[in-house]
A and B are shown apart, each in its own frame.
Chain A
Amino acid sequence: MHVVNTHDLTKIYDNRYIALNALNMRVEKGQVYGLVGPNGAGKSTTFRILLGLQKPTAGSIQVFGEAMGAERADLRRRIGYLPTNPTFPKTMTPIGFLQFVGSVLGMPRDRAKIQLSRLLQAVDLTNAASQPVKGFSTGMLTRLGIAAALMNDPELLILDEPTSGLDPAGRKQTIELIRELSGRDRTIIIATHILTDVERVCTDVGIISAGRLIYSGPMADMRRLARQGTIAVEIEGNTSAFEQEIPSLDEFGSVRYERLGSEFRITFLGTRSLTDYLQRVLQLIDRTGVELLHINTGSDEIEEAFLRRLEDDRTRGFLRAAAWAAALEGSPAEAHLDGGLSDDSPMASAAHNGAAGANGNSGPLAQGKGESADAGIHGHPSV
């Protein structure tokens, strides 16, 4: 069962600002799902709609298989939420606040007291348990927020920028805490723009940009992705001629490169296999008569893959359409669909059929899970 399932979720503020743009996101039970995106991408908006704090302009959202709304306190009882930079009533102590949370949740007083004691110990706030919150550091507020989110032992835990404003020690402590919380059938969704945190703790990742999910898949695929699509060569000789010919490596020009002296780091945005591109690079080396000193594929960091995904999303349009068409004409099975298209658009149908027809030959870029066409890109280097 999908714990969270959004379908074309759209949010437009004041008829002016599009915060979410037909977002399709699915989180399964037991996943630790990292929702990654730049500031203003729509992560917090997604959570607020997920919790019923805001209404979507269009589309739908289901939590635990049921539609979420402002009056669905029964669903929220199963959710724990840590907001960005949590705020608390200044005069309250951690004990007082957690008692209040317990009473709001309908917990018997005795059980609430046992639970809050355990949680304050787990988040290392026992020594500050009876101090007013107004004197707390950012790290302490975050830890109190995590304790409050766990009061009801939730099935779904939502953490919005849990390491925001923390020093390295605080971040490490928080990440360790999150790692301890995962498992036991608990689903965790973490929104962050810190990719190393995602890499450390998440099983799945979704990249959100300008309100759309442009990538969604297992963390393992993301790591594999990080090592594909880039070829670094170090050459000697007529490097200018080599540099001039680089755009011709892909028919549609979906290639970019960085030059550092005699080293060229060439990134391919097309749909061909890495082997194919590698052959073309070697042919180019041969054609231009340069001497190859060193060649390497991959070694991108996750961050590079993330940035590439974002840039790829920005430079789509005709490039993407052209690469699509090429993929459908008979090259191997990787129809990568634009997150903005709906299932019943002609291009989506054609892409589906093309992908289905050319199935066996996926190479290292295995097809993602069988999710719907408009869920963004599934564990693939995108077009």
Chain B
Amino acid sequence: MQAFMAILRYDAAQLLQSWVTRVWVPLLLAPALFLVVVAASENELASETLAAYVAAVLMPLSAVAVAVLTAGAIAGEAQIIADGILSRSVTRTEFVSAKIVARLGFALAVFLLVMVPFTYLIIRYAATDVSYAGLLVGLFTAALLLTFLGALGLTLSTVMTNVLVSVLVLLVVVLASGLVLQFLGLNWMSTTAVLTQMAPTIRGETPAWDTFRVIFVFGGLTAVSILATFSVFRQRDL
């Protein structure tokens, strides 16, 4: 447990000092503030403003940031990890667990740091048309999408040795998945479809079954990615 906590603290410190974080967080905050001002002055609908922000700002920027932070989590530090950490009294399970908690936890922390105050301000100043249950479901779904992306990034990071290739593959997979799912008639599973449905979801208009299946699929995929990360890393030569 001590090794887990030590690695978690170390990784969290690395993330806080990372240039990605220093660029990502301000880029999220600035448009959020702008939208609060616009929504208040123009009396925009809260659900539409929130959905637009999530679809146009939060998800694209966060997807890139999370891809970089997770796809480089192991590949980018391979030698330090092998020689400096795993050659000591740390099991691979402890190490991967700490990395997963640190990276995904950090991504969710940034998400909450931005979305909680932004949501509060939008509801406060914009024209309220949200259902609180729908709001929670909508934000939860957005967080789940990010978490899935991060988990997939971590899996790729254990499989590939090149950070750049890991990041590119991750982004290509995400972008291409929409087309593939559309071709297979599973459009509802694509991130685009989920984000398109964000405004109705926040208003509480999306059927419960639709919400449930999205959460189930992305939750399941996240779990599979995490298990794959453990499995691959345990077998890999360092």
Contacts and interface: CB of A to CB of B under 8 A. Distances in A.
Contacts of B6: 100, 103-104
A89 interface: yes
14 contacts: A53-B87, A70-B234, A73-B90, A73-B91, A83-B83, A86-B83, A86-B84, A88-B84, A89-B80, A89-B84, A101-B88, A104-B2, A105-B3, A148-B84
Contacts of A316: none
Contacts of B14: 89
Interface in B60-97: 79-80, 82-94
Contacts of A105: 3, 88-89
B2 A70 contact: no
- How many A residues touch the partner, as a band? 20 to 34
A239 to B, nearest CB: 56
Interface in B77-128: 79-80, 82-94
Contacts of B237: 48, 53-55
B12 to A, nearest CB: 13
Contacts of B87: 51, 53, 76, 79, 81, 83
A149 B91 CA distance: 17
Interface in A72-130: 72-74, 76-77, 79, 81, 83, 86-89, 91, 97, 100-101, 103-106
A103 B237 CA distance: 25
Nearest to A103: B6
B84 A48 contact: no
Interface residues of B, number: 28
A71 interface: yes
A273 interface: no
A67 B217 CA distance: 41
A200 B82 CA distance: 30
A152 interface: yes
B10 interface: yes
B90 A48 contact: no
Given A48-B238, A104-B3, A104-B7, A87 B83 contact: yes
Interface string B1-40: 0110111011000100100000000000000000000000
Interface string A180-221: 000000000000000000000000000000000000000000
Contacts of A51: 87
Contact of B238 (A54, A76, A148): A54
Contacts of B84: 86-89, 97, 101, 148
A97 B80 CA distance: 12
Contact of B3 (A73, A86, A97): A73
Interface in B184-238: 234-235, 237-238
A103 B90 contact: no
B80 A88 contact: yes
B82 A53 contact: yes
Contacts of B235: 55
Contacts of A54: 237-238
Nearest to A45: B237
Contacts of B2: 103-104, 106
B215 to A, nearest CB: 33
Contacts of B3: 73, 103-106
A348 to B, nearest CB: 31
Nearest to A54: B237
Contacts of A89: 14, 80, 84
Nearest to A151: B88
A20 to B, nearest CB: 13
